[in-house]
Amino acid sequence: MEATISAARGSANVREKRVRRFKALLFAVCLLPIVREAWLVVSGAEVNPIEFVIRSTGLWALVWLWAALFISPLKKLTGWGSLLRFRRELGLFSFFYACLHLVCYLWLDKFFDWADVFKDVIGRPFITIGTVAVVLMLPLAVTSTDGWVRRLKRNWSRLHWLVYPAAVLSVWHYFLEVKRDTTQPWIYAVVLGLLLGWRVYERGIRPWLARRMSPVR
């Protein structure tokens, strides 16, 4: 009996170590775009470094957000429960890149001219929509700690539904920003549509069907 318990503990420890190592690797991977951006700007490879940095940080905010949204379906498909432990990291990196994107815009594009920023926020729909997306992401980032998860209990999951409107607004912002070729925003929009459809099926349609099919009613 004791041998079984210690074997179970041993394999749990191995699993925990593997998850921690993978989290560290993911952390490094999520920082790579910044290294690449810095290199391209410093080396002078980018003809318009300001536009490049603003666009690139925006795009990576979107990529990490989509990656975070992929975790639940991936967990369902693979049955690997530990995947959920990478969702917070991806979500926080998305928020981090969105903040960098915002700071680059305020600093490099607007030189902290607040009157001009205000004019943009109320006068340019794509900036208004991006701003609302960041505002929606803020409470998610703030409440991502274990303490907040415990404190908010079921309301934590309810609050984290905000990720979906934030994602919809982010891709909308992308559509409005792209002037000609909308292929890329369409790819993100279709993937988001599939993710949302899966979520509605899992949370709404599937339990409803199960209730209807159940012999005890």
Which residues are at the interface with ligand HEM (CB under 6 A)? 51, 54-55, 58-59, 61-62, 65, 98, 101-102, 105, 109, 127, 130-131, 133-134, 170, 173-174, 177-178
Candidates 165, 114, 120, 118; CA nearest to 139 is 165
Q: How far is the CB of 217 from ligand HEM (least distance, A)?
A: 44
In the complex with ligand HEM, the residue whose CB is nearer, 19 or 99, is 99
Q: How far is the CB of 52 from ligand HEM (least distance, A)?
A: 8
In the complex with ligand HEM, the residue whose CB is nearer, 119 or 206, is 119
Q: How far is the CB of 61 from ligand HEM (least distance, A)?
A: 4
In the complex with ligand HEM, the residue whose CB is nearer, 87 or 173, is 173
Q: How far is the CB of 101 from ligand HEM (least distance, A)?
A: 5
In the complex with ligand HEM, the residue whose CB is nearer, 86 or 188, is 188
In the complex with ligand HEM, the residue whose CB is nearer, 65 or 83, is 65
Instruction: Give Dmax over CA atoms of the chain in angstroms.
Output: 71
Q: How far is the CB of 7 from ligand HEM (least distance, A)?
A: 45
3-state secondary structure the chain: CHHHHHHHHHHHHHHHHHHHHHHHHHHHHHHHHHHHHHHHHHCCCCCCHHHHHHHHHHHHHHHHHHHHHHHHHHHHHHCCHHHHHHHHHHHHHHHHHHHHHHHHHHHHHCCCCHHHHHHHHHHCHHHHHHHHHHHHHHHHHHCCCHHHHHHHCHHHHHHHHHHHHHHHHHHHHHHHHCCCCCHHHHHHHHHHHHHHHHHHHHHHHHHHHHHHHCCCC
Residue nearest to ligand HEM as judged by C-beta position: 58
In one letter, which amino acid is 38? Answer: A
Which residues lie below 8 Å from residue 46, measured CB to CB, with a gap of 6+? 40, 52
In the complex with ligand HEM, the residue whose CB is nearer, 76 or 185, is 185
Q: How far is the CB of 26 from ligand HEM (least distance, A)?
A: 18
